[in-house]
A and B are shown apart, each in its own frame.
Chain A
Amino acid sequence: MAALKKSFQLKSRDFMHAGEASISVQNMLKQIGIEPALIRRVAICAYEGEMNAVTHGENGNFRIEVNTDKIILDISDEGPGIEDIEKAMEKGFSTATEEYREMGFGAGMGLPNMETNSDRMDIESEKGQGTRVVMRFSLSPGSRKNET
């Protein structure tokens, strides 16, 4: 199977359309017959990541790649960056705006949710430059979390 790739540009603070890239990815994975439990994990990671990029970032870029043995979600933005990644990973820690909280997000659960639902998550971020979150999902049967 050749790698399947798709990418989306994310518009900053466009909460009306935020989530559409993730729903499109969810549909794409359904169409190619990925198992529902894995689709759900990928979709949740995609959505939390998309919401983060739309909220905090500028020029958000959302990419998905489906290979024979893994799915890679790569979400990046040119934004303020994350000052302290370790702190950002703590459940409940949030720098969200009131607008984002009104959307039902911003309670400091996004990154922990993404880490829980992916097999591997890497965050690169530089203050004032932006953030890139890459999540990987194993497609080989029987592979377990944290074995990478």
Chain B
Amino acid sequence: MKLSELIDKIDAVVIAGDDKLDLDIERIGASDMMSDILAANLGTNSMLLTGLTNVQSIKTAVIAGVEAILFVRNKRPPQAVIDTANSHGIPLLTCPYSMFVTSGRLYAQGFTGLNGLR
């Protein structure tokens, strides 16, 4: 599903990378623990769902090859973090729901975990 379409399912807004909404997302990992994302057997077309808004969430995405980040509970990272995301071409979104509800809504849309399993 394209990022632009995914946004509608969870009432998200774009914080950074509004030129990247054509990105196709298939797999999603939800965690505030970055080592869990780094340990995941992750494929391409993946997104990180997290409440962690510091710069390490962006660096984890870059290192692990995660292509987009969605923050829950309307969280917004500080500007320096947004700048880092822009410099690495990682789009950032935020949505009003909790991690649990956001995960449920996206699962219902057919997304898989980072390892491709449901």
A113: chain B residues at CB < 8 Å are 35, 38-39
B65: chain A residues at CB < 8 Å are 36, 40
B35–A104 contact, CB under 8 A? yes
Closest to B58 in A: A19
A104–B32 contact, CB under 8 A? yes
CB contact between A15 and one of B38, B50, B55, B88 (< 8 Å): that residue: B55
Closest to B55 in A: A16
A64 within 8 A of B: no
The SS class assigned to the A binding surface is: helix
CB contact between B64 and one of A36, A40, A109, A110 (< 8 Å): that residue: A40
B64–A16 contact, CB under 8 A? no
Closest to B39 in A: A113
CB contact between A110 and one of B31, B35, B62 (< 8 Å): that residue: B35
**How many A-B contacts if CB must be within 8 Å?**
71
B56–A48 contact, CB under 8 A? no
Separation of A40 and B61 alpha carbons in the complex (Å) = 11
Q: Interface size of A by Cβ–Cβ distance < 8 Å?
A: 26
B80: chain A residues at CB < 8 Å are 16
B12 within 8 A of A: no
Separation of A136 and B5 alpha carbons in the complex (Å) = 42
Separation of A105 and B52 alpha carbons in the complex (Å) = 11
Q: Interface size of B by Cβ–Cβ distance < 8 Å?
A: 22
Contacts known (A16-B80, A19-B63); A48 close to B35, Cβ less than 8 A? yes
Chain A stretch 63-113: residues in CB contact (< 8 A) with chain B: 102-105, 107, 109-110, 112-113
A46: chain B residues at CB < 8 Å are 63
B54 within 8 A of A: yes
B59 within 8 A of A: yes
B106 within 8 A of A: no
A48–B38 contact, CB under 8 A? yes
B74 within 8 A of A: no
Additional A-B contact list (7), CB under 8 Å, known A43-B63, A47-B60:
A15-B54, A19-B56, A23-B59, A23-B63, A48-B38, A104-B33, A104-B60
Query: Can you report 30 residue pairs joining A to B where beta carbons are below 8 Å apart?
Result: A15-B54, A15-B55, A15-B56, A16-B55, A16-B80, A19-B56, A19-B59, A19-B63, A22-B59, A23-B63, A23-B88, A26-B63, A36-B65, A40-B64, A44-B63, A44-B64, A46-B63, A47-B60, A48-B35, A51-B56, A104-B32, A104-B35, A104-B50, A104-B52, A104-B54, A105-B35, A107-B33, A109-B33, A113-B39, A116-B39
